[in-house]
């Protein structure tokens, strides 16, 4: 039996590595995916293109607007003088924000009243708009507070010494500069692995069915279990290889730290791969052509990725979707990945996730094997 297994594995590897195109597509796409994600995926809002319109021309308005200039998140691109210029700027996407100060701004402040500030935002990118509004509010609140204090000081100089000052000292744990890359890169490893392994596994079986060689195989003394192991083992190994490659890229190129125990990551990866292989096998029993395999894989993998906590927090999703994610092995693997890279967490912390992965993995493989058995007969 071992001999037959060895032969099957050799055959699978020959299939995969002999064709130059295959070799290419096993190595290059994962690396490219990593690169694209690493560079494109960002939630940081670093540049908010802004235009300012100051009708007041007072010292207060200038000081206020200067705070935006000083804040390197706002990029003041235009200074306009007429309100009629605004629509053109936004329509042609020259700026996403226009700050407008009406005449009488300083006057209201001096009287100790509330002075309005208008902000016009391009809502087509709601994320940037939300964050921009947040920053604007912060700067405005700060300015008001300072102004209030100054104002009070002028009347009662002694107040200055005793005015309360509260500040927030943010201490980001694990990711001091809050680089979103450090958040995404470990995640990409998970999504990459899921997509690649499921697709390869499903394709491997279906390809033989499509070309007709599966029938040939089944006539030999090979047993179903051997066939299954023979079809999945190579992809377990390739999956591990890909993880290694992409991790190296993440650590060496993107300089994401790896603080955890590689063995824990290895264990988590193997358990995760069990699920991926099982799902791939299951898909292969449901289709006869490679095209179908591809479509179904894609159809299943996309929700798994989107809802798995890869880019968007699970806690913000509707309750029903959240329950659904408990079936998603990626959800747990992502936790393991991020912990392994950034938190340096060990088994004591990750055991619930590893347990979940084990349960999902073994269930997937069992179901897949049973179905596979049936289709072989």
Contacts of 46 by beta carbon, 8 Å cutoff, 6+ apart: 73
Tokens 């000052």 — which residue? Answer: 165
If binding is defined by CB under 8 A, does position 319 make contact with another protein?
Answer: no
Q: Which of 116, 225, 255, 355 binds another protein (CB under 8 A)?
A: 116
Query: Under rule CB under 8 A, which residues in 299-318 are in contact with another protein?
Result: 299, 302-303, 306-307, 311-313, 315-318
CA separation (Å) from 161 to 141, 154, 157, 167, 315?
21, 13, 8, 16, 44
Query: Under rule CB under 8 A, which residues in 221-280 are in contact with another protein?
Result: none
Query: Toward another protein, which CB reaches closer, 4 or 317?
Result: 317
The span from the CA of 128 to the CA of 120, in Å, is 13
Tokens 């990711």 — which residue? Answer: 175
Query: Toward another protein, which CB reaches closer, 125 or 226?
Result: 125
The span from the CA of 280 to the CA of 297, in Å, is 8
What tokens does 366 get? Answer: 């069992």
Strand partners, 101: 54
Helix, strand or coil, per DSSP, at residue 99:
strand
Q: Which of 3, 21, 82, 84 binds another protein (CB under 8 A)?
A: 21
Helix, strand or coil, per DSSP, at residue 80:
strand
Query: Toward another protein, which CB reaches closer, 120 or 364?
Result: 120
If binding is defined by CB under 8 A, does position 326 make contact with another protein?
Answer: no
Is 329 within 8 Å of 360 (Cβ atoms)? yes
Query: Toward another protein, which CB reaches closer, 8 or 60?
Result: 60
Helix, strand or coil, per DSSP, at residue 52:
strand
Cβ atoms within 10 Å of 69's Cβ, excluding its own: 13
Tokens 């924000």 — which residue? Answer: 97
- Give the DSSP letter of residue 327: G
If binding is defined by CB under 8 A, does position 109 make contact with another protein?
Answer: yes
Q: Which of 294, 358, 363, 376 binds another protein (CB under 8 A)?
A: 294
Pattern of binders to another protein over 342-371, x per CB under 8 A? xx-x---x----------------------
CB of 115 to another protein, least distance (A): 6
Q: Which of 3, 82, 157, 171 binds another protein (CB under 8 A)?
A: 171
Query: Under rule CB under 8 A, which residues in 151-170 are in contact with another protein?
Result: 151-152, 155-156, 159, 161-170
Q: Which of 12, 52, 68, 183 binds another protein (CB under 8 A)?
A: 183
Query: How many residues sit close enough to another protein to count as binding (CB under 8 A)?
Result: 131
The span from the CA of 130 to the CA of 271, in Å, is 39
Q: Which of 142, 323, 326, 370 binds another protein (CB under 8 A)?
A: 142
CB of 220 to another protein, least distance (A): 20
Q: Which of 227, 243, 246, 296 binds another protein (CB under 8 A)?
A: 296
Quick one: which H or E segment has residue 6?
A: helix 2-18
Q: Which of 50, 129, 232, 275 binds another protein (CB under 8 A)?
A: 129
Q: Which of 12, 37, 208, 242 binds another protein (CB under 8 A)?
A: 37
CB of 25 to another protein, least distance (A): 4
If binding is defined by CB under 8 A, does position 219 make contact with another protein?
Answer: no
The span from the CA of 149 to the CA of 147, in Å, is 5
The span from the CA of 366 to the CA of 9, in Å, is 21
Pattern of binders to another protein over 50-69, x per CB under 8 A? --------------x-----
Quick one: which H or E segment has residue 278?
A: helix 262-285
């Amino acid at each position: 039996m071992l001999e037959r297994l060895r032969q099957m594995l050799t055959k699978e590897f020959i299939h995969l590595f002999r064709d130059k195109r295959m070799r290419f597509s096993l190595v290059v796409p994962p690396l490219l995916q990593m690169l694209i994600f690493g560079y494109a995926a960002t939630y940081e809002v670093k540049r908010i293109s802004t235009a300012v319109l100051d009708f007041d021309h007072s010292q207060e308005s200038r000081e206020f607007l200067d705070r935006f200039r000083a804040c390197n998140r706002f990029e003041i691109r235009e200074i306009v003088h007429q309100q009629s210029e605004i629509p053109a700027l936004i329509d042609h996407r020259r700026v996403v924000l226009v700050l407008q100060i009406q005449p009488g701004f300083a006057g209201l402040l001096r009287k100790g009243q509330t002075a309005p500030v208008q902000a016009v935002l391009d809502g087509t990118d709601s994320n940037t708009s939300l964050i921009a509004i947040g920053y604007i509010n912060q700067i405005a609140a700060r300015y008001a507070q300072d102004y209030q204090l100054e104002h009070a000081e002028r009347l009662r100089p002694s107040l200055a010494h005793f005015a309360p000052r509260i500040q927030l000292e943010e201490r980001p744990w694990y990711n001091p500069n809050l680089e979103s890359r450090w958040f995404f890169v470990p995640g990409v490893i998970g999504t990459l692995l899921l997509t690649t392994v499921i697709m390869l596994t499903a394709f491997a079986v279906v390809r033989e069915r499509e070309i007709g060689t599966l029938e040939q195989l089944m006539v030999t003394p090979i047993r179903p279990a051997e066939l299954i192991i023979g079809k999945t083992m190579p992809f377990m190994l390739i999956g591990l290889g890909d993880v290694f490659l992409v991790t190296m890229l993440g650590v060496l190129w993107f300089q994401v730290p790896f603080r955890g125990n590689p063995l824990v990551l290895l264990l988590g990866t193997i358990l995760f791969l069990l699920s991926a292989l099982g799902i791939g096998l299951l898909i292969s029993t449901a289709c006869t052509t490679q095209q179908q395999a591809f479509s179904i894989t894609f159809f299943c993998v996309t929700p798994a990725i989107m809802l798995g906590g890869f880019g968007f927090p699970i806690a913000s999703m509707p309750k029903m979707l959240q329950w659904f994610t408990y079936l998603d092995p990626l959800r747990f693997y992502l936790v393991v990945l991020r912990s392994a890279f950034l938190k340096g967490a060990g088994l004591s912390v990750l055991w619930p996730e590893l347990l979940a992965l084990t349960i999902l993995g073994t269930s997937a493989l069992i179901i897949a094997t049973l179905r596979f058995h049936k289709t072989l007969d």
